[in-house]
Structure 1
Amino acid sequence: MAVGSGHPADALSSRTVVIAPDKFKHSLTALEVSRALARGIHDVRPDAPIDVAPIADGGDGTVDAAIAAGFEPLPVTVVNAIGTPVDSVVARRGRQAVVELANTCGMSTLPGAALHPMTAHTVGVGQAIAAALDHGCDDIVLGLGGSASTDAGTGLLVGLGARLLDRDGLPVEPGAAGLGRIVAVDLDGLHPGLRDARIRIAADVTCPLLGPEGSVAVFGPQKGLTGEAADQVEREIDEFAALVQELSGRDIRTLRGGGAAGGVAATAYGLLDAEIIEGAAFVLDILGFERHLGGARVVVTGEGRCDDQTLHGKAPAAIAHLARRSGVPVFLVAGEIAMSEEGREKLGVQRTWSLMEAAGGDRAVALAEAERLLAEVGRQIGATL
């Protein structure tokens, strides 16, 4: 019985099963998914060599994936989306740091997953970046995903030392509620380490900041932002975008991926000269994922829900692309599969399994018994080997 992680391809059997899922949101981490599938496979094929390589796409689990790839954990204390101090971690290797919004001020840091659509902010992720800069890191990768706020990145700026000012020159609290009062952004207090730092935004979505496919319209409802309040925030983000353009000369309104994490990506691009990159591709690169494929018989990947959005920067699509290029078959396991036939064809996987189907269409069972259902899927996969 051989379960490994991070082994070079020449140390793996030519019949290796590579298990590389993303998290199953609201249910299991990527590592928990991997282990459940591995247990099931070993129930029927105890001799099958398995390479466990959990992945992420810039959202929840990105720091864990970096640590699994050899980065060192750097503990930090920051504030969550409602200002409560929380212990978090940054991944560090040399002068490169991976910072995650989800584990600093994301939805998972809020007690009881309560929604605070107008007051939630991203100060904590700015504080985490500042901590990485304090430790000498000048290559910062910020993973976005799992956001609890729609503050247009104003909290990020405050966490890095900027000030948001109203027409009387008084400070404005970050968060959606204060957006309409901001008439100036004082950047003089920004962390000095930013001057020589490279910042990349690892985003898991491609939506723009504004419009019918923008941050408020698409992700606002998940954060409790709906109706007239959503319309107001949309208008005020537009006004803030005009201010960013005045300061930087950059129009962030239609930037591809700018709507990630409630507009954090757009503001980081506009005022911090950040580059937006595809989150899944970055994580696979730091994992050196292609080395896992050299001796692979099959790759098993997946995420909580697979739909046509999976094709746009999500981890399973990136895995499938690399595997196809290496001639390795791909099996897809998801909590729910709601993908069109065209989408399935583009994804190019050989077989699919859905926990919702295994649970008879009962979502509550699929969530509560995901580990058991994944082990059963693992047994079915093992029977095909």
Structure 2
Amino acid sequence: MRVLLAPDSFGGSLTAAEAAAAMAQGWARAVPGDTTVLLPLADGGTGFVEVLHTARGGTRHDVEVTGPLGAPTVATWLELDGTAYVESASACGLHLVGERTPATATAATSRGVGELVAAAAEHGPSSIVVGLGGSACTDGGAGLLAALGAPARDADGAVLPDGGGPLAGVASVDDLAAVHARLGDVELVVAADVDHVLCGPRGAAAVFGPQKGADADTVADLDAALAVWGAVLAAASGRPDLVDRPGAGAAGGLGAALAALGARRVGGGELVREVAGLDDALAAADLVVTGEGRLDDQSLRGKLVSVVATRARERGVPCIALAGQVDLSVGEALEAGLEGAYSVSADAGSVEAALAEPAARLADLAAGVAGRWGARPP
């Protein structure tokens, strides 16, 4: 039996490559006669560049940029076949913030992503693909635009401090033409893992703010600030529908800023599927095992697990998921194309036990699942 292991990263505990390796180790322990094929994947968030580099090669570029809270950090972009792939999470990722509090949620910036885009543009690519997801910021991409030459300003014309909180006082943004001049003729593409809008109940602050440290009051403040910022961006870009565009709320609103620059949006999981060769791998598989840190309703909104499950179902290949936590019903999983969904934390006895040794616990779960699914006839 040929088993394709195609997981996303498991939050901050395992990269996609580490998760695939752990699954393979556990599967081989239980069913050594099966052939496991490792194809770690991503959907635009954490691990985006690593996955593409592993699958296709290319040249990695490490650049020192401004981290989410202002301290320098090293971020990565990939040069491949004339295209630059930029991983926003490497510059402003949630994993770069230690203790997540309302203060960090308010202050976190996407400035480093703009610096990374600028560094990639200097190499003259035909297009720049910005992978969105896993960010610590909720600044609507104001930091990115500032780094590219179009800062946000208050009513007195003063440049606003970095972060989402100060956007409550935004009155204007510098001419976006300066950004276009800096980037030249390069095509901008957004690889987004979610389709959320900029603000409101399905917006960046309401949906993702709590995991970034925002309490209820901070979520409300950030959402109000994004609404003001969205109106300014819409006017400056001539795109009146900007706030309500699917994906505008991705990565704390980075999607909105990139849309204001004319970026074309594609599904992150679908892009990685194509570049990494998922379809060819599925054609040779008898079973597909995917996974991520938390399997919930967000997983079904264009994220990697849903992409893998959908493609597998189209080809008649059974697909199951192993996840750190599973918050889907059996019916929801089946509807998404998953014939089984298994939780590491449930298998380990608690979330704490699962996180204490994430690779070992994932391997244990894979071994148990292999006992049920392994060595099945094609």
C-alpha distance in structure 2 between counterparts of 1:318 and 1:87, whole Å: 30
Deviations 1:294-337 (A, max 9, x none): 22121111111112222111111111111112221112111111
Query: Quick one: which amino acid aligns to residue 368 of structure 1?
Result: A
Pick closer, same or farther for the CA change 1:302–1:227 going to 2, 3 Å: closer
Moved more, 41-50 or 15-24: 41-50
Query: Quick one: which amino acid aligns to residue 257 of structure 2?
Result: T
Q: Is 1:145 equivalent to 2:133 in the alignment? A: yes
Counterpart for residue 3 of structure 1 = none
Q: Is 1:178 equivalent to 2:196 in the alignment? A: no
TM-score (norm 2): 0.92
Query: Quick one: which amino acid aligns to residue 25 of structure 1?
Result: G
Counterpart for residue 80 of structure 2 = 93
Counterpart for residue 349 of structure 1 = 338
Q: Is 1:28 equivalent to 2:14 in the alignment? A: yes
Q: Is 1:39 equivalent to 2:25 in the alignment? A: yes
C-alpha distance in structure 2 between counterparts of 1:235 and 1:113, whole Å: 21
Count of paired positions: 369
Aligned-CA RMSD value? 1.9
Any stretches of 5+ residues in structure 2 without a counterpart? Answer: none
Cα distance, 1:382 vs structure 2: 3.8
Q: Is 1:369 equivalent to 2:357 in the alignment? A: yes
Q: 1:300 aligns with which of 274, 281, 289?
A: 289
Cα distance, 1:246 vs structure 2: 1.7
Cα distance, 1:190 vs structure 2: 2.1
Deviations 1:239-271 (A, max 9, x none): 22221222122132211121111111012112x
Q: Is 1:317 equivalent to 2:306 in the alignment? A: yes
Any stretches of 5+ residues in structure 1 without a counterpart? Answer: 1-14
Instruction: Check conservation: 1:160, 1:191, Cα contact below 8 A.
Output: no
Task: Indicate the SS of the match to 1:142.
Answer: strand
Cα distance, 1:111 vs structure 2: 4.2
Counterpart for residue 114 of structure 2 = 126
Counterpart for residue 228 of structure 2 = 239
Q: 2:253 aligns with which of 257, 263, 269?
A: 263
Cα distance, 1:193 vs structure 2: 4.6
Deviations 1:262-290 (A, max 9, x none): 111012112x1012221111111110111
Instruction: Check conservation: 2:138, 2:163, Cα contact below 8 A.
Output: yes
Q: 1:80 aligns with which of 45, 64, 67?
A: 67
Pick closer, same or farther for the CA change 1:98–1:113 going to 2, 3 Å: farther
Task: Indicate the SS of the match to 2:113.
Answer: helix
Pick closer, same or farther for the CA change 1:42–1:229 going to 2, 3 Å: closer
Cα distance, 1:191 vs structure 2: 6.0
Cα distance, 1:237 vs structure 2: 1.9
Task: Indicate the SS of the match to 1:58.
Answer: coil
TM-score (norm 1): 0.90
Cα distance, 1:113 vs structure 2: 5.5
Counterpart for residue 157 of structure 1 = 145
Query: Quick one: which amino acid aligns to residue 172 of structure 2?
Result: A
